[in-house]
Amino acid sequence: MDFALSEELSMVRDMSRDFAENHLMPLATQHDREAKIDASVFPAMAELGLWGLTVPESYGGAGMSNLAMCLVLEEINRACASTGVTLSVHASLVCAPINKWGTEAQKQAWLPKLASGEVLGAYSLSEAVSGSDAAALVATGTRDGNDWVLNGTKLWVTTGEQAGLFVVYVRTDPTVSKAKGITAFLLPRDTPGFQVGKKEKKTGIRGSSTNELVLNNVRLGPESVLGEVGRGFNIAMDTLDGGRIGIASQAVGIGRACLEAATKYAKEREQFGQAIANFQAVQWKLADMSTHLDAARFLVHNAAWLRDTGQEVGRMASQAKLMASKTANFCADECLQIHGGAGYTDDFHVERLFRDARITEIYEGATDVQRIVIARHLLRS
Q: Which residues are annotated as catalytic?
A: 364
Rounded to the nearest 10 degrees, the angle between the axes of helix 66-79 and helix 232-268 is 50
Task: Tell me the three-class secondary structure of 104-138, residue by residue.
Answer: HHHHHHHHHHHHHCCCCEEEECCECCECCCHHHCC
Sign for the pseudo-dihedral over CA of 171, 175, 181, 187: negative
Q: How far apart are CA 361 and CA 345, in angstroms?
A: 23
Are 85 and 250 in contact, with CB atoms under 8 Å apart? yes
Specify the 3-state DSSP secondary structure of 266: helix
SS3 217: strand
C-alpha distances in angstroms, 115 versus 48, 60, 88, 285, 377? 11, 6, 13, 41, 34
